[in-house]
Chain A
Amino acid sequence: MRRSWLKTLLIFTGVAFMLAFCLVPFLYMVVVSFSTTPEFLTPGVPFKFTFDNFDAVLVGQSLHFMDYLRNSVLLSLISAFCCVFIGSLAAYAVTRLPVPGKMYLLFLVLAVSMFPQIGLVGYLFKFMAALGWINTYQGLLLPYIAWILPLSLWILVSYFSQIPIELDQAGLVDGCSRWQILYKIIFPVAVPGIFSTFLLAFILAFNEFMYALMLTTDYRTRTIPVGITMFQGLHGQTPWGNIMAASVITVLPAVLLAIIFQRYIIGGLTRGAVKG
């Protein structure tokens, strides 16, 4: 009896530490975003509540936050959608159809996902510059999709391989083409897998930094992660309140997604990582 009491205490302490470790920087971000000054921790400076930071970020034009937000959301949505679509086609072929060298393809794709981005970005910059695609959506989208496809493929292959092949055979007997089988039979059955792939692809695209840094030049295509590093005040002082307000707005959807859909995200991550 005493042992189990001790165990409960240990687990409780551990969980408290874990929560503090994971949440304190995030909570600090939230508190600063509502403060008139970031200096409220120094003695003699009181904490004063304000909405001004959010006002500056959401309504003010000079920071271009809304532009960055629009670019980030659009680019991530389109990339995630394309990755799921292209990835599903390939995953279906790899798990169901006689494709020569499919193991090589899977390992090539795995190796590709280990490449350092810096080894690609210099050439991509020249490539996009030659096409005149610097600072365009397509100039970012195409590298994004290629960059996120490997993980998408691995997750989808792991989901699709668990769907019984009898379903396909039933479809073939009914005279469906492979394409019809994919979207009429496999897609509905694989909804959880497709959803977690979509979520992960979205998060990866949303968090991407280096391509966005090299391949954009201003607010018309720049994404939030890059935009937020360029927030500057009028007098050279770092506008911490504005930065934290922008961070809170950006991060809130991700936080909610993580909490609501943790099951799908964890499912996708473990399939992408462990099964690989």
Chain B
Amino acid sequence: MPSRNLTSVSKSAAHELRTGCLFILPLVVFIVLFVLLPVLGTFINSMFQDVSFVGKRFYFFKNYEHLWSDPGFFKALKFTLLFILVSVPFELVLGLLFAMLLDQHIPFRGLLRGCVLIPWAIPAAISARTWELIYNYSYGLANYICLTLGLSTQPVNWLGTSVGAFSAVVVADVWKTAPFVAIIFLAGLQAIPRELYEQGRIDRANSWHMFFRITLPILRPVVIVALLFRTIDGLRVFDLIYVLTHGGPGGSTASVSHYAYMHFVSGDFGYGSAISVVLFVIAFVFSIVYVKVGRFSTEVL
């Protein structure tokens, strides 16, 4: 009896291994063919002069050399980093505020949570078109509000000036992504044991103290996760720019993705690929940080 069991176990172990690999195979095939291979292809392409209707020629690092002295690229990089630097803090603060509100015992809590999800659930391209209308110089909602509330005495040229366009993009992005941050924070808040607050109340700590001594320290790993998520997502910002400002005025809101895309569209695949690779490397550095931090956050949660 035991010997029969043993052989069936070892036989089934090999069988289980085969089944396991078989179950994973479709996922691996998809990711290799349509993610890893394209990334490799882009990298190889970035070493070539690859312009439509011009022959393909091995270029080695010439594209990158060109990149290094391309003011357009640095302008796009500067915009992208500045965009992250300004929008991500707003997103985190608003997200935390929303999460704390949604965590309260208030009527219609489910409905409220659903409403907060709306900006996130709407395709960015569609909300960007709505923002385009909101920022319209002569009849948009933004100028109507500014003029009615007396925030400004004359209409603001939102999309026609570089400062206006930058603020417009930041506001639209904060609107779309603060809800996402709120949802992540909400999960973090709900994981905090209520007894900690009870204890705090017994110790006569006020709400302010409890927020800084209990809520924020426990939330720290979640904040870091949200921070990195938003940073990496901000690095690759494209839809919003493409629809709302087309990178303008005068290329002042062209993100790195948008700049690379413009080269793809004009047929310069080699140079577009080189720009993409640089963005890729920057995102990859952040990803490593994320994986490192993410591992410790699973322990904490």
User: Which residues of A approach B to under 8 Å, CB–CB?
Assistant: 11, 14-15, 18-19, 21-26, 28-29, 32, 38-42, 45, 86-87, 89-90, 92-94, 97-100, 105, 107-112, 114-127, 142-143, 145-147, 149-150, 153, 177-179, 203, 206-207, 209-210, 213-214, 224-226, 228-229, 240, 243-244, 247, 250-251, 254-255, 257-260, 262-263, 265-266, 269-270, 273-276
Main DSSP-derived SS at the A contact region: helix
Assess the A86–B30 pair: CB atoms within 8 A.
yes
B109-120 interface code vs A (CB 8 A; 1 in, 0 out):
011111111111
Q: Is B126 an interface residue, CB under 8 A from the partner?
A: yes
Minimum Cβ distance to chain B for residue A180 (Å): 11
Contact partners of A276 in chain B: CB under 8 A: 225, 294
Partner pick for A146 among B34, B225, B236, CB 8 A cutoff: B34
Assess the B19–A240 pair: CB atoms within 8 A.
no
Partner pick for A118 among B21, B124, B180, B279, CB 8 A cutoff: B279
Contact partners of B28 in chain A: CB under 8 A: 105
User: Which residues of B approach A to under 8 Å, CB–CB?
Assistant: 13, 16-17, 19-21, 23-24, 26-28, 30-31, 33-39, 41-42, 45, 94, 97-98, 101, 104, 106, 110-127, 129-131, 133-134, 136, 138-141, 144, 175, 178-180, 183-184, 186-188, 222, 225-226, 229, 232, 235-236, 238-239, 242-243, 256-257, 260-261, 264, 269, 272-273, 275-277, 279-280, 283-284, 286-287, 290-291, 294, 297-298, 301
CA distance A21 to B101 in the complex (A): 14
Main DSSP-derived SS at the B contact region: helix
Contact partners of A39 in chain B: CB under 8 A: 138-139
Partner pick for B125 among A87, A225, A257, CB 8 A cutoff: A225
Assess the A15–B232 pair: CB atoms within 8 A.
no
Assess the B280–A18 pair: CB atoms within 8 A.
no
Assess the A260–B114 pair: CB atoms within 8 A.
yes
Assess the A11–B106 pair: CB atoms within 8 A.
yes
Partner pick for A244 among B36, B114, B130, CB 8 A cutoff: B130
Partner pick for A116 among B138, B144, B243, B257, CB 8 A cutoff: B257
Q: Which residue of B lies closest to A229 (CB)?
A: B243
Partner pick for A98 among B20, B37, B297, B298, CB 8 A cutoff: B20
Assess the A247–B130 pair: CB atoms within 8 A.
yes
Q: List 11 A-B contacts (CB under 8 A).
A: A38-B139, A89-B23, A98-B16, A119-B279, A122-B264, A123-B42, A126-B41, A126-B45, A143-B34, A210-B257, A224-B126
Q: Which residue of A lies closest to B190 (CB)?
A: A270
Minimum Cβ distance to chain B for residue A141 (Å): 10
Partner pick for A147 among B19, B35, B222, CB 8 A cutoff: B35
Contact partners of B123 in chain A: CB under 8 A: 206-207, 209, 224-225, 250-251, 254
Assess the A262–B113 pair: CB atoms within 8 A.
yes
Minimum Cβ distance to chain A for residue B33 (Å): 7
Minimum Cβ distance to chain A for residue B38 (Å): 4
Assess the B187–A229 pair: CB atoms within 8 A.
no
Assess the B294–A257 pair: CB atoms within 8 A.
no
Partner pick for A120 among B35, B125, B144, CB 8 A cutoff: B35
Contact partners of A87 in chain B: CB under 8 A: 27
CA distance A275 to B121 in the complex (A): 21
Assess the A178–B19 pair: CB atoms within 8 A.
yes
Partner pick for A25 among B134, B272, B298, B301, CB 8 A cutoff: B134
CA distance A146 to B119 in the complex (A): 25
Assess the A146–B33 pair: CB atoms within 8 A.
yes
CA distance A98 to B298 in the complex (A): 22
